């Protein structure tokens, strides 16, 4: 995993303080769109579930498929 990407996801996760709503998901979308990270929303969801907190990535996936 890209260490900068992981650091950014951890930063966003901590800033959300358990509130995983539109602002959090929008911030994740911005990370996915950033050329420096070369990632996709699906990869971010997987990283959230495996590296940060299981279930958060599932919420993000669900939000993006509405």
Domain ranges of the chain: 3-64
Predicted TM-score (pTM) of the model is 0.84
Helix axes 22-33, 3-16, angle to 10 degrees: 170
If the chain, 66 residues long, is cut into consecutive pieces of 10 residues, what is the mean pLDDT of each piece? 89 92 94 92 93 90 86
- Return the pLDDT at 1: 67
- Return the pLDDT at 59: 92
- Return the pLDDT at 66: 75
* Alpha carbons 22 and 4: distance in angstroms, whole number: 23
- Return the pLDDT at 65: 83
């Amino acid at each position: 995993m890209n260490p900068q990407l992981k650091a950014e996801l951890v930063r966003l996760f901590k800033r959300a303080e358990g509130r995983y709503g539109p602002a959090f998901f929008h911030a994740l979308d911005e990370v996915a769109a950033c050329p420096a990270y070369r990632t996709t929303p699906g990869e971010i969801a997987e990283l959230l579930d495996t590296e940060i907190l299981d279930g958060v990535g599932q919420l993000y996936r669900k939000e993006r498929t509405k």
